[in-house]
């Protein structure tokens, strides 16, 4: 895990489900085929409902047209992020799109586990409703060593809940690598 993560934020609301993160029609791509794998990133968050202006609830498309990745490293959301089905493709799609961190008030348990177990991204929780404080496009800095997010666009800082034992798994790159490096599985 990096000492400092900087990037633009993409802000969503509550109850973002796995069908919004990666719609079911895009689950046909082979994750082992590099050409098909990149499609998961292209279609990440393509199922987020549009507002009255025809834009996703983040107010701008997550992955711009004719691009293979998002200009956002950090996704900020409300409560119950990743609810819905148990597909591990959801955190993988965000990772493939270029996301390093998701910060939400709470997660669906299976999304959180898939994010950590696969080493796809860092799933921070915040007690503050950051989706009301931060805007899509704001430049933010996360300091994992002290569990702080700073909105560089406004100068305000927010405490993040410590990752606890999950930090070691995320830092290693996922549960499988963690178990292997710590001699928790047969060779």
Of the pLDDT bands very low, low, confident and very high (cuts 50, 70, 90), residue 1 is low
Per domain, the residue ranges of the chain are 5-181
Q: 3-state DSSP call for residue 15?
A: coil
pLDDT tens across 72-102, in order? 999 999 999 999 887 789 999 999 999 999 9
Q: Is the pLDDT of residue 137 over 90?
A: yes
Helices (H), 62-126: 89-97, 109-117
Half-sphere exposure (Cβ direction) of 139: Cα atoms closer than 13 Å: 4
Containing 5, the helix (H) or strand (E) segment is: strand 5-11
pLDDT tens across 25-50, in order? 888 889 899 999 999 999 999 988 87
Q: Is the pLDDT of residue 170 over 80?
A: yes
Q: Which CATH number is correct for 5-181, 3.20.19.10, 3.30.70.20, 3.30.530.20, 2.60.120.430?
A: 3.20.19.10
């Amino acid at each position: 895990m990096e000492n400092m993560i900087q990037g633009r934020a993409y802000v969503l609301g509550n109850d973002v489900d796995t069908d919004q993160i990666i719609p079911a029609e895009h689950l046909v791509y082979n994750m082992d085929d590099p050409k098909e794998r990149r499609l998961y990133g292209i279609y990440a968050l393509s199922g987020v409902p549009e507002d009255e202006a025809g834009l996703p609830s983040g107010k701008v498309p997550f992955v711009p047209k004719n691009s293979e990745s998002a200009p956002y490293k950090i996704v900020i959301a409300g409560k119950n992020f990743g609810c819905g089905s148990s597909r591990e493709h959801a955190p993988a799609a965000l990772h493939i799109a270029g996301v390093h961190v998701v910060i939400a008030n709470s997660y669906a348990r299976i999304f959180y586990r898939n994010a950590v177990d696969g080493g796809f991204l860092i799933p921070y929780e915040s007690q503050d409703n950051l989706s009301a404080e931060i805007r899509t496009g704001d430049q933010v800095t996360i300091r994992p060593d002290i569990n702080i997010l700073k909105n560089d666009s406004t100068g305000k800082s927010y405490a993040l809940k410590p990752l606890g034992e999950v930090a070691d798994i995320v830092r290693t790159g996922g549960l499988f690598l963690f178990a292997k490096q710590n001699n928790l599985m047969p060779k």
